[in-house]
């Protein structure tokens, strides 16, 4: 048997950021060599970046990826075997490939057999799936090399591949690799984060190692690679159905290695591509690995922990990769803007805990013109500007909540009275119409002008700071268009537009009382959590609340899941709701349930144009409404009129 040290790398890559991507790859190789790794698996498409989208159609992107592999990366692979991910074009078709390099020599390429085409994935738009059991030859750097469904003998050890989605299909390549007596399977992945997905990946790794009765190495991306998708850096190594090593998730480092030493048999294969690599002999079935699983990974509130860490890391990468000098936020004193504010605070807390204040300051050096803040709280004040914009309809409750939260987390706090701006617009329009605007006649317009009147000042602050303006809409509001376009939707990124309001309220209560593992609760959130969500756009005496305008958020979110995620028609939604315990808890009769369903479908259909214009949001589950990458719906439609009439 051979003793082999395996490694899976988590890399924080960026599409078409050639220099940085290569720097991360070379750092991973250097770290692997320093740890005496024999075989290193890098993530899927790590040279070009996974999220290049239609840039994969550019011949220049494909050529540069291969050029960098041959000229810049391979020369650093002496005495180690490394799997690199890159796009490859052959005979007019583009493939998602992995290059196998052993001791400075390019040995061949494996092509992905199963393409991801659901959710936010559009791989079939750019790539062609490679047929199982087929190979061809490709000319690279003057050599003819095997390409396709290829395996390799590295120092006598038989190595094969599953590339990300390959492991998720029912007839996965691992079964065929087992029949070919493969000892080690490498899985270079770009598997985006979603709640609970870590456990699914773990099960796939365990099953894969059982199928081949050998070792399985899983590499992944980490961070916010291209803007919307978040990668958690999930890296694992399994042997014979047991996870022997796993790496930390949501790291603020650009490179994280997970390693394990395994004993593998020397297998003869007439079809595998041979290569020489010096491996030591061992008589014992040794397996040595390390698991860096943090305490929060076994928490009873894992979803809350994952949300805090995923969105914080996503904001960090979005800020630094866009070269923004921090954030600007219209802090209303409500749940949504409070969530966004504390996510920035958690971003700094998590980063400082892992890489230290000096390390964080170095990563964000473009943000500081002078001296670097000396404490994490002062760093929040440097990076986050919050502004409360009051009108005559604002309350002291929300103003106090906004100021208390800003001070608690250390953010800079400004207060602006925009009533004069709103009144000036009302006066201008009244003059044109030659009548006074009234709430009875002009309710919607009078609400929206307040939200829009707040936009210019907060945009101006963002421009002055050269910061990123954060929008605060949530998924529940996006579903029914309960938001003012060019008002509270203003921003360069909408961090929480992919999560429902009911969860956000639960998360804020958790953060007020408990907080993340290793952190402190934020007790000042009680001033937000004690409120009923309200837009505060109508006169105070009307006691406006979101749920009185719409329906209970729990009901709204349930209807959204059934109608949009599960693709149910109104009659099907009604049937499910009539038997649902949530409806029983509200003691709602059939008439009320029908009214809720009608309101949802009508507002959903009417407001697709708003969802088309939302700032980009982060993906955290399988219910996203982003029309570009997840949920497409016509801007103009019949609005389910026939189906809704049939409910009566």
What confidence category does residue 559 fall into, taking pLDDT thresholds of 50, 70 and 90?
very high
Q: Is pLDDT at 84 greater than 80 in this prediction? A: yes
Q: Are residues 218 and 198 in the same domain?
A: yes
Predicted local distance difference test score (pLDDT) of residue 73: 99
Which of 273, 293, 313 lies at the terminal end of a domain, its last residue? Answer: 293
Predicted local distance difference test score (pLDDT) of residue 285: 63
Q: Are residues 615 and 474 in the same domain?
A: no
Q: Is pLDDT at 283 greater than 70 in this prediction? A: no
Any idea what DSSP says for residue 370? S
Q: Look up the domain containing 430 and give its range.
A: 302-546
Q: Is pLDDT at 32 greater than 90 in this prediction? A: yes
Cα(330)–Cα(414) distance, rounded to whole angstroms? Answer: 10
Q: Are residues 476 and 351 in the same domain?
A: yes
Q: 570-588 as b/e, with b when 16 or more CB fall inside 10 Å?
A: beebbeebeeeeebeeeeb
What confidence category does residue 296 fall into, taking pLDDT thresholds of 50, 70 and 90?
very high
Average pLDDT, stretch 117-121?
Answer: 91
Strands 81-90 and 327-330: unpaired
Predicted local distance difference test score (pLDDT) of residue 281: 82
Q: Are residues 392 and 505 in the same domain?
A: yes
Average pLDDT, stretch 261-280?
Answer: 86
Question: In this structure, what are the phi and psi dihedrals at residue 510, rounded to the nearest 5 degrees?
Answer: -60, -45
Number of residues that this document lists for the chain: 648
CATH at 390:
3.40.50.620
Question: Can you spell out the DSSP letters for 93-123?
Answer: EEEEEEEEEETTEEEEEEE-SS---STT--H
Q: Are residues 339 and 272 in the same domain?
A: no
Residues in contact with 23: Cβ distance below 8 Å, sequence separation at least 6, in sequence order = none
Predicted local distance difference test score (pLDDT) of residue 286: 61
Q: Are residues 326 and 258 in the same domain?
A: no
Q: Are residues 11 and 151 in the same domain?
A: yes
Cα(525)–Cα(335) distance, rounded to whole angstroms? Answer: 9
CB 29 within 8 A of CB 22: no
Q: CA-based Rg of the chain, rounded to a whole angstrom?
A: 27
Cα(622)–Cα(618) distance, rounded to whole angstroms? Answer: 12
Share of the chain above pLDDT 90, in %: 90
Average pLDDT, stretch 558-581?
Answer: 97
**What is the rounded end-to-end Cα distance, in angstroms, of the chain?**
73
Render pLDDT for 485-506 as a digit per residue (tens, 0 to 9): 999 999 999 999 999 999 999 9
Total domains present in the chain = 3
Q: Are residues 218 and 321 in the same domain?
A: no
Q: Are residues 198 and 323 in the same domain?
A: no
Q: Are residues 337 and 264 in the same domain?
A: no
Q: Are residues 508 and 607 in the same domain?
A: no
Instruction: Provide the 3-class DSSP secondary structure of residue 88.
Output: strand
Which of 242, 275, 293 lies at the terminal end of a domain, its last residue? Answer: 293
Average pLDDT, stretch 81-107?
Answer: 98
pTM across the whole model: 0.96
Q: Are residues 243 and 307 in the same domain?
A: no
CATH at 611:
1.10.10
Which of 293, 320, 338 lies at the terminal end of a domain, its last residue? Answer: 293
């Amino acid at each position: 048997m051979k003793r082999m040290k395996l490694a899976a790398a988590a890399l924080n890559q960026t599409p078409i950021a050639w220099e940085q991507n290569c720097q991360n790859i070379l750092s991973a190789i250097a770290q692997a060599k320093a740890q005496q790794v024999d075989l290193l698996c890098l993530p899927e498409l790590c040279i070009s970046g996974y999220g290049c989208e239609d840039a994969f159609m550019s011949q220049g992107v494909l050529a540069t990826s291969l050029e960098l592999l041959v000229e810049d990366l391979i020369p650093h692979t002496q005495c180690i075997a490394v799997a690199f991910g890159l796009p490859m074009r052959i005979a007019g078709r583009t493939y998602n490939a992995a290059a196998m390099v052993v001791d400075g020599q390019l040995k061949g390429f494996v092509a992905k057999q199963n393409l991801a085409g659901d959710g936010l994935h559009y791989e079939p738009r750019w790539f062609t799936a490679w047929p199982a059991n087929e190979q061809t030859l490709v000319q690279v750097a003057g050599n003819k090399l095997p390409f396709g469904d290829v395996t390799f003998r590295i120092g006598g050890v038989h190595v094969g591949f599953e590339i990300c989605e390959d492991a998720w299909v029912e007839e996965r390549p691992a079964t065929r690799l087992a029949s070919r007596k493969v000892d080690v399977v490498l899985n270079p992945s770009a598997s985006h984060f979603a709640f609970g997905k870590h456990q699914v990946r773990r099960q796939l790794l365990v099953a894969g190692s059982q199928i081949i009765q050998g070792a399985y190495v899983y590499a992944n991306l980490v961070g916010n690679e291209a803007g919307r998708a978040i990668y958690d850096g999930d890296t694992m190594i399994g042997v014979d159905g047991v996870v022997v090593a796993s790496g930390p998730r949501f790291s603020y480092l650009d490179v994280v290695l997970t390693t394990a030493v395994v004993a593998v048999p020397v297998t003869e294969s007439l079809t595998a591509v041979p290569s020489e690599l010096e491996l030591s002999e061992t008589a014992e079935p040794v397996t040595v690995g390390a698991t860096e699983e943090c305490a929060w990974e076994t928490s009873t509130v894992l979803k809350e922990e994952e949300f805090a860490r995923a969105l914080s890391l996503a904001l960090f990468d979005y800020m630094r990769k866009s070269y923004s000098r921090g954030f600007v936020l219209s802090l209303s004193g409500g749940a949504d803007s409070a969530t966004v504010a504390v996510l920035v605070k958690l971003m700094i807390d998590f980063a400082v805990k892992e890489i230290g204040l000096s390390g964080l300051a170095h990563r964000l050096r473009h943000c500081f013109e002078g001296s670097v803040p000396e404490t994490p709280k002062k760093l929040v004040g440097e990076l986050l500007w919050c502004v409360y914009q009051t009108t005559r309809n604002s309350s002291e409750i929300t103003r106090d909540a906004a100021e208390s939260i800003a001070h608690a987390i250390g953010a800079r706090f400004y207060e602006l009275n925009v009533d004069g701006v709103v009144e000036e617009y009302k006066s201008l329009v009244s003059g044109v119409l030659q009548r006074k605007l009234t709430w009875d006649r002009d309710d919607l317009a009078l609400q929206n002008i307040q939200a829009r009147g707040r936009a210019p000042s907060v945009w101006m602050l963002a421009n002055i700071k050269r910061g990123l303006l954060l929008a605060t809409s949530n998924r529940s509001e996006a579903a029914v268009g309960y938001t003012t376009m060019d008002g509270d939707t203003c921003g360069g990124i909408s961090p929480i537009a992919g999560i429902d309001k009911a969860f956000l309220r639960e998360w804020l209560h958790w953060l007020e009382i408990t907080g993340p593992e290793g952190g402190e609760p934020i007790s000042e959130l009680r001033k937000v959590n004690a409120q009923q969500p309200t837009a505060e756009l109508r006169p105070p005496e009307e006691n406006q609340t979101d749920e009185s305008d719409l329906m209970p958020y729990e009901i709204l979110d349930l209807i959204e899941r059934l109608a949009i995620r599960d693709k149910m028609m109104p009659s099907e939604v009604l049937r499910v709701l009539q038997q649902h315990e949530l409806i029983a808890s509200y003691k709602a009769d059939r008439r009320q349930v029908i009214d809720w369903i009608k309101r949802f479908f009508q507002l959903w259909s009417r407001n697709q144009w708003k969802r088309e214009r939302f700032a980009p949001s982060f993906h955290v589950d399988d219910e996203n409404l982003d029309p570009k990458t997840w949920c497409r719906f016509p801007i103009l439609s019949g609005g389910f009129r026939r189906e809704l009439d049939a409910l009566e």
